[in-house]
């Protein structure tokens, strides 16, 4: 068994091993799970194929793929894994000249660009473009993608595979309970002996938070009152050609900000928002007035997004004060117009929004249908072009697109998110025969998978182009599995580095097991779910954690969900209280959040330990993470165990075939 | 119906009334509940008797009794209620000369004192004492108490009464759900229209918190590190005749405070403490070392309790900063020796511990058995004497007991608590034949009720004596119903002004209904329960609130249970999140907490409204409490309704008897 080489055995783990051997060695796997050898081999083969598929898409896009799983995949092919082959995202640390420096920009490559089937192709020059000879970069192929999708889709409905995954997941659960019973006190002892490190000073990243809701309700209220006190006569809004001062805005709303309360602000989600994403969205309007949203939480308005920037900087300041908390806020690019990137970058740099405790994600709302019905765009390709063309241009010619380049590289955008109400049903089923983005001219919104594939495809090409230039690459981190069809989780399994929510993994044992085997990070927000889609007590976070899925905790929208000044701590506190999580549990979640985040390699080394990329306990520096080595060994050994079953099945089948 | 006179009807309530009439008017009460007229009349009579009993004990001790219930009790006797008859606790505001002023102390009354059957009797002078002619104050009579107890004990087991109460409680629950459905938006609208007041700036009192655990774990950790940094060479401990500096203490523990973490501090309750009150108690020892408890969280130690005082003052400072949060911390008097009061008072005054945001409760642990087995006391009466005699002495001759007098009056102790593990079983059943406290010489601990009766008895006499002198009176606020026998809740129903916990009301519909009818305030701590006795999801707080019991939220022990800096807000936030409480719900809880607290009449007027003693909406100033008038009307009308059923039953029976 491979695991033996890697795991430093501790007494506790040893005890567990002995106990587990009683269960596992005396009976074969097929005995335990009451499935036939053929079914087991069939399930193993299908599952391995799915792992190979995810690995392929991850490598193409410079997404993370766990070493342990990669090693087993190599061994299934009788190959040897080597560190050199490993593909890692490129995330640049902030340069010493300061985050906003525009010195020494890379030269113009003079490449040409063209969008074809919704994907941007790169050409060495105009000639190559005319001859349609794109530069040798990997370009995704829709047909292959459709075949890969259908493979995974088929397997999540396959009986024997379902049975196998369901039983393995149950086993993982029971095994963790056993681990807890035997090793809980030993883990605690380890943690107690670590000097100077406890839950409060391990690094935590709020892996999923929207910038427009990153302040809590009390904070926004105070900010509104403060601006009114000092700048009532400032012109802040232009509407229908007329200009309005802050005072006039509030006069029109028939309201004195002095009297404003959290109640009248009315941005908090309540019982009314449960299963009503539409109502929830309108909570972004303070006092139900879209003017106030426009003034206070938009970056592109009459006051050049000054208030929004100030609010964000206050939040960043609190994070910096807390020292150990980081956040990855989402800013929107809609794909409505080509200037969006330019505007956002200029706003960001002008307002000096960089903070060492923040990394930025660009969220793209799935609202083609709205833009189309308002005739803002002629087809879906136009949206993709508005989103991605400026990125390619800034990559090819940073000197011409200084702000975008600096925004992307240094201050620093690390990924993309795809957002909207997943529970909206789509009639269209995405296949390789679906209309191409240029042909998607109907008013209907494309389905979730259509959005994901085309975002992934462009990010992938872009990442390869940027890697060539030594520039940072981007992670694709869509919202996925918050509601709606289970197929969303299949699309993300192929295309995403990591996802937000993942609640629907509850509904598919096969997908849940695949997300476990490939350690796809999941940023979960149980308080957000509690207000929107799923009661707290039914949230699967604890179960996922116990089984060993890579889960982190995030706030989603402090403005709508949280009560205290420290939203992320509130999230951790409630989870710890309600689920009686141990210190080791919460520190493991915090460690996952750093792993999952867009923090740079250097920062991760600093926060998790020099060797954080290594497997198991060797990759863990307990003095930094406060996660017990026993826990790390348990996780690693368990994952190796699960993977070895799959590889063994395929190998034994191969041997049997040879012999016959 | 009486309620009609008092309730200002709002549209929402009107709608509800119409709906409820459909249910109630077409069917008689006995129809609805499927009980016979005789059973109903029997239940009503017994319940009314219980209400009269509680009213009697409340009046005797200057405890609060709700006006509404008092009015119905008068009407049952064909009497008229009048405001003049109302008995209210006397709670002095802080005098203008400052809280520690020892000017103008009242004169010595030269009364004599003697303990008889564990109760202190007051005599006008030595002669009266010799002739055993005590001063005319109400003294409790054990026999009457035993009869009253047995009446309530009998009724909680009486079939028809149980059925009646169970069904009324179910009805209250359904009625509230109906109220919510019809009036939730109207309540919210009311709250939105209140200027400047929201959940964040309504007054909240942490009605149950132990001083020794009033700081959170991170706070204590930082404090220990800070003292070590600046005062390592200070002598802080004397043990076995030897003196130790802080450095020596930590050297002996083989520990460098710099390396200390929340994990090694190990004061937080975890999975290990569930149903293990013993383990929980040892969590008061930082790093498991009783020396550190002695140094940091004791008032009577080598450094004269300086560190403990500084910690408490830091907590008080945070409360004052927050402005809207108050706390009622418990300090211990053990009854081990007569000097305890003197020491505690001197410590308190010397350390200047008064804070406008704190009111103090004295907790008496039920640990006679420990003192007896160590031969510290000869019998139970000695403990009572050690606790209460100094209070009587300070009341009679404040000039001789200046510190105790000032501590009790101005700075300011407002009540007594009785604390310990309620789940400990006692073999002894308390009756009027039980050994008197002077005769209780065995090593066994007296049962819960024995403690409660004797504490109540002494507080009652003391309160009457103090009221005569124009001094403040004390509330009896025992821990009750956290675990153990249901009879605890019967004892407290007679003797307590209000209680902490009350979980076991879940188990007795009769007691729960009685606590509802008499609006006995209950300080609940669901996070504490979650770690010790009852999972959060099973906590009855929400259910009690919906039915209309007078519940508040409290933290119990932030050191052991809470994660964030604002423990009380954490408590509210989790309750609001998990139970989806509306703003009106949480503000009602906050209002209850002020009502229940030992804050003075003047403060309550300021925080709740001028007329807060009045019934229903008239007693509520929404601009201060942020509780909707619709809610107040609903609560008042509902209580009147329940009470009128009882009174009507008794009256109709009387009419029937006359007629026959």
Domain ranges of chain A: 1-32, 186-631
Q: Cβ separation of B271 and A191 shorter than 8 Å? A: no
pLDDT of residue B30: 62
Q: Cβ separation of B580 and A198 shorter than 8 Å? A: no
Tokens of B593: 């907490």
Q: Is B623 exposed, middle or buried (0-12, 13-18, 19+ CB in 10 A)?
A: exposed
Share of chain B above pLDDT 90, in %: 83
Q: Give the residue-averaged pLDDT of B595-599.
A: 96
What is the H or E stretch that residue A239 is in?
Answer: strand A235-239
pLDDT exceeds cutoff 80 at A26: no
Chain B residues near residue A530 by CB distance under 8 angstroms:
577-578, 580
User: Among all chains, which residue has been given the structure tokens 């495809």?
Assistant: A457
Min Cα–Cα distance to chain A from B152, Å: 37
Question: In this structure, what DSSP letter does residue A556 have?
Answer: B
Min Cα–Cα distance to chain B from A213, Å: 18
How confident is residue B21, by pLDDT bands cut at 50, 70 and 90? very low
Best of B253, B262, B325, B537 to disrupt the A interface by mutation (most A CBs within 10 Å)?
Answer: B262
Best of B219, B221, B262, B263 to disrupt the A interface by mutation (most A CBs within 10 Å)?
Answer: B263
Using CB atoms, pick whichever of B258, B264, B569 lies closest to residue A192.
B264
Q: What is the ipTM of this complex?
A: 0.89
Q: How far is CA A609 from CA A95, A186, A594, A601, A636, in A?
A: 22, 22, 11, 11, 17
Q: Which residue of A has its CA nearest to B260?
A: A196
pLDDT in tens, B94-103: 777 788 888 8
Cβ neighbours around A430 below 10 Å, total: 21
**A–B CB contacts, 8 A cutoff, strictly below:** 121
pLDDT exceeds cutoff 80 at B273: yes
Those residues with Cβ within 8 angstroms of residue A542's Cβ, 6 or more apart along the chain or in another chain: A575, A579, A581
Q: Give the residue-averaged pLDDT of B359-380.
A: 96
pLDDT of residue B277: 81
Question: In this structure, what DSSP letter does residue B71 have?
Answer: H
pLDDT of residue A660: 65
Q: Which residue of A has its CA nearest to B573?
A: A563
Chain B residues near residue A218 by CB distance under 8 angstroms:
200
Characterise B205 by phi-psi region: left (phi > 0), alpha (psi -120 to 50), beta (else): beta
- What is the rounded distance in angstroms from the CA atom of residue A530 to the CA atom of residue A536? 5
pLDDT exceeds cutoff 60 at B502: yes
Residue among A304, A297, A371 at smallest CA distance from A330: A297
Characterise A118 by phi-psi region: left (phi > 0), alpha (psi -120 to 50), beta (else): left
Using CB atoms, pick whichever of B196, B261, B271 lies closest to residue A258.
B196
Residue among B242, B205, B211 at smallest CA distance from B319: B205
Catalytic residues of B: 501
What is the H or E stretch that residue B369 is in?
Answer: helix B368-373
**Mean pLDDT, rounded, of chain A:** 92
Residue B328 and residue B380 in contact, taking contact as beta carbons nearer than 8 Å: no
Q: Cβ separation of A574 and B574 shorter than 8 Å? A: yes
Min Cα–Cα distance to chain A from B184, Å: 10
Question: CA triplet B342, B345, B348: central angle to 5 degrees?
Answer: 145
How confident is residue A21, by pLDDT bands cut at 50, 70 and 90? very low
Min Cα–Cα distance to chain A from B277, Å: 17
Min Cα–Cα distance to chain B from A186, Å: 13
Residue B449 and residue B426 in contact, taking contact as beta carbons nearer than 8 Å: no
Longest dimension (CA), chain B: 89
Chain A residues near residue B192 by CB distance under 8 angstroms:
261, 263-264, 266
Q: How far is CA A68 from CA A81, A535, B500, in A?
A: 10, 35, 53
Residue A366 CA to its chain's centroid (Å)? 16
How confident is residue B2, by pLDDT bands cut at 50, 70 and 90? very low
Chain A residues near residue B627 by CB distance under 8 angstroms:
none
Those residues with Cβ within 8 angstroms of residue B304's Cβ, 6 or more apart along the chain or in another chain: B347, B350
Instruction: Supply the angle between the helices A487-495 and A509-517 in degrees, to the nearest 10.
Output: 20
pLDDT of residue B33: 61
Chain A residues near residue B256 by CB distance under 8 angstroms:
195
Residue B346 and residue B304 in contact, taking contact as beta carbons nearer than 8 Å: no
Q: How far is CA A44 from CA A489, A650, A659, in A?
A: 20, 7, 20
- What is the rounded distance in angstroms from the CA atom of residue B421 to the CA atom of residue B418? 10
Q: Cβ separation of B271 and A195 shorter than 8 Å? A: no
- What is the rounded distance in angstroms from the CA atom of residue B556 to the CA atom of residue B503? 14
- What is the rounded distance in angstroms from the CA atom of residue B322 to the CA atom of residue A626? 33
pLDDT exceeds cutoff 80 at A454: yes
Those residues with Cβ within 8 angstroms of residue A86's Cβ, 6 or more apart along the chain or in another chain: A67, A70
Residue among B373, B386, B394, B348 at smallest CA distance from B444: B373
Distance between first and last Cα of chain A: 26
Q: Is A220 exposed, middle or buried (0-12, 13-18, 19+ CB in 10 A)?
A: buried
pLDDT exceeds cutoff 90 at A10: no
Q: Cβ separation of B194 and A261 shorter than 8 Å? A: yes
How confident is residue B18, by pLDDT bands cut at 50, 70 and 90? very low
Residue among B275, B278, B210, B174 at smallest CA distance from B482: B275
pLDDT in tens, A108-122: 999 999 999 999 999
The secondary structure of A14-49 as a DSSP string is: HHHHHHHHHHHTSS-HHHHHT--HHHHHHHHHHHHH
Best of A184, A198, A216, A322 to disrupt the B interface by mutation (most B CBs within 10 Å)?
Answer: A198
Chain B residues near residue A576 by CB distance under 8 angstroms:
563
Residue B516 and residue B171 in contact, taking contact as beta carbons nearer than 8 Å: no
pLDDT in tens, B299-339: 999 999 999 999 999 999 999 999 999 999 999 999 999 99
Question: Residue B11: is the preceding peptide bond cis (ω within 30°)?
Answer: no
Best of A220, A261, A279, A581 to disrupt the B interface by mutation (most B CBs within 10 Å)?
Answer: A261
Q: What is the 3-state secondary structure (H, E, C) of B224-282?
A: HHHHHHHHCCCEEEEECCEEEEHHHHHHHCCCCHHHCCHHHHCCCCCHHHCCCHHHHHH
Those residues with Cβ within 8 angstroms of residue A262's Cβ, 6 or more apart along the chain or in another chain: A217, A218, A221, A268, B198, B199, B200, B583
- What is the rounded distance in angstroms from the CA atom of residue A585 to the CA atom of residue A542? 9
Tokens of A518: 């490939």
Catalytic residue among A33, A479, A501, A636: A501
Residue among B333, B331, B277 at smallest CA distance from B501: B277
Output B645-649 pairs: Cβ under 8 A, ≥24 positions apart.
Answer: B645/B29, B645/B44, B645/B168, B646/B44, B646/B47, B646/B48, B646/B51, B646/B72, B646/B76, B646/B517, B647/B44, B647/B48, B647/B72, B647/B75, B647/B76, B648/B44, B649/B40, B649/B41, B649/B43, B649/B44, B649/B45
Q: Which residue of A has its CA nearest to B267?
A: A192
Q: Cβ separation of A563 and B572 shorter than 8 Å? A: yes
Q: Give the residue-averaged pLDDT of B105-109.
A: 93
Tallying the residues shown for chain B, one arrives at 660
Using CB atoms, pick whichever of A193, A564, A578 lies closest to residue B566.
A564
- What is the rounded distance in angstroms from the CA atom of residue A446 to the CA atom of residue A429? 9
pLDDT exceeds cutoff 70 at B471: yes
- What is the rounded distance in angstroms from the CA atom of residue B107 to the CA atom of residue B436? 34
Q: Give the residue-averaged pLDDT of B391-404.
A: 96
Q: How far is CA A594 from CA A194, A501, A589, in A?
A: 20, 17, 9
Q: Give the residue-averaged pLDDT of B544-556.
A: 98
Residue B464 CA to its chain's centroid (Å)? 20
pLDDT in tens, A125-170: 999 999 999 999 999 999 999 999 999 999 999 999 999 999 999 9
Q: Please report the sign of the dihedral spanned by the C-alpha atoms of residue B573, residue B577, residue B581, residue B584.
A: positive
Q: How far is CA A496 from CA A146, A451, A461, A499, B413, in A?
A: 16, 12, 14, 7, 61
Residue B422 and residue B479 in contact, taking contact as beta carbons nearer than 8 Å: yes
Q: Which residue of B has its CA nearest to A273?
A: B580
Q: Is the pTM of this model over 0.90?
A: yes
Q: How far is CA A116 from CA B92, B340, B629, in A?
A: 82, 87, 64
User: Among all chains, which residue has been given the structure tokens 């964000």?
Assistant: A312
pLDDT in tens, A488-545: 999 999 999 999 999 999 999 999 999 999 999 999 999 999 999 999 999 999 999 9
pLDDT exceeds cutoff 90 at B651: no
Tokens of B270: 């975890």
Q: Which residue of B has its CA nearest to A536?
A: B578
Q: Is B83 exposed, middle or buried (0-12, 13-18, 19+ CB in 10 A)?
A: exposed
pLDDT exceeds cutoff 70 at A32: no
How confident is residue A9, by pLDDT bands cut at 50, 70 and 90? very low
Burial B137-159 (b: 16+ CB within 10 A, else e): eebbebeebbebbeebeebbebe
CATH class of the domain defined by B186-631: alpha beta
């Amino acid at each position: 068994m491979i695991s033996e080489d890697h795991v430093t055995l501790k007494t506790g783990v040893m005890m567990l091993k002995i106990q587990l051997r009683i269960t596992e060695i005396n009976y074969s796997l097929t005995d335990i799970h009451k499935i036939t050898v053929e079914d087991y081999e069939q399930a193993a083969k299908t599952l391995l194929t799915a792992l190979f598929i995810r690995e392929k898409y991850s490598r193409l896009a410079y997404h993370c793929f766990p070493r342990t799983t990669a090693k087993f995949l190599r061994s299934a092919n009788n190959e040897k894994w080597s560190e050199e082959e490993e593909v890692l995202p490129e995330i640049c640390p902030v340069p010493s000249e300061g985050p906003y420096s525009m010195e020494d920009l890379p030269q113009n490559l003079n490449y040409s660009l063209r969008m074809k089937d919704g994907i941007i192709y790169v050409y060495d020059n105009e000639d190559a473009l005319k001859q349609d000879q794109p530069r040798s970069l990997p370009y995704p192929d829709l047909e292959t993608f459709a075949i890969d999708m259908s493979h995974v889709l088929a397997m999540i409905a396959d009986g024997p595979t379902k049975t196998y995954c369901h039983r393995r997941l149950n086993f993982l659960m029971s095994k963790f309970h056993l681990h807890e019973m035997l090793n809980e006190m030993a883990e605690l002892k380890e943690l107690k002996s670590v000097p100077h490190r406890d839950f409060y000073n391990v690094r935590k990243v709020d892996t999923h938070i929207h910038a427009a809701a990153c302040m809590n309700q009390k904070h926004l209220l105070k900010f509104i009152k403060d601006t009114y006190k000092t700048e009532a006569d400032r012109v802040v809004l232009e509407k229908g050609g007329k200009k309005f001062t802050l005072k006039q805005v509030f006069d029109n709303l028939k309201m004195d900000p002095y009297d404003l309360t959290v109640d009248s602000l009315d941005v908090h989600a309540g019982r009314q928002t449960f299963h009503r994403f539409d109502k929830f969205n309108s909570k972004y309007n303070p006092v139900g007035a879209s003017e106030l949203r426009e003034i206070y939480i938009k970056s592109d308005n009459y006051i050049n997004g000054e208030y929004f920037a100030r609010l964000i900087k206050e939040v960043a300041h609190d994070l910096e004060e807390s020292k150990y908390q980081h956040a990855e806020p989402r800013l929107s690019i809609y794909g409505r117009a080509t200037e969006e990137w330019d505007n956002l970058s200029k706003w960001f740099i002008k307002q000096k929004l960089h903070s060492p405790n923040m990394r930025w994600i660009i969220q793209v709302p799935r609202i083609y249908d709205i833009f189309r019905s308002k005739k803002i765009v002629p087809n879906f390709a136009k949206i993709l072009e508005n989103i991605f063309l400026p990125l390619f241009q800034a990559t090819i010619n940073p000197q011409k697109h200084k702000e975008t380049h600096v925004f992307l590289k240094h201050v620093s955008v690390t990924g993309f998110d795809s957002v909207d109400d997943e529970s909206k049903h789509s009639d269209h089923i995405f296949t390789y025969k679906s209309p191409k983005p240029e042909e998607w001219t109907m008013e209907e919104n494309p389905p979730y998978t259509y959005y994901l594939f085309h975002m992934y495809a462009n990010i992938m090409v872009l990442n390869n182009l940027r890697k060539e230039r030594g520039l940072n690459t981007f992670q694709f981190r869509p919202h996925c599995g918050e509601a709606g069809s289970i197929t969303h989780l299949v699309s993300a399994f192929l295309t995403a580095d990591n996802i937000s929510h993942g609640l629907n993994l509850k509904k598919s044992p096969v997908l849940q097991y695949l997300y476990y085997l490939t350690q796809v990070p999941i940023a979960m927000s149980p308080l957000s779910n509690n207000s929107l889609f799923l009661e707290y007590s039914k949230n699967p976070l604890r179960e996922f954690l116990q089984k060993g899925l890579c889960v982190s905790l995030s706030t989603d929208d402090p403005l709508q969900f949280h009560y205290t000044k420290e939203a992320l701590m509130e999230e951790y506190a409630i989870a710890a209280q309600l689920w009686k999580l141990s210190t080791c549990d919460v520190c493991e979640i915090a460690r996952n959040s750093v792993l999952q985040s867009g923090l740079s390699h250097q920062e991760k080394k600093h926060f998790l330990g020099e060797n954080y990329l290594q497997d198991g306990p060797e990759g863990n520096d307990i003095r930094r993470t406060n996660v017990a080595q026993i826990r790390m060994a348990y996780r690693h050994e368990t994952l190796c165990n699960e993977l070895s079953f799959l590889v063994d099945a395929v190998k034994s089948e191969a041997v049997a075939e040879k012999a016959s």
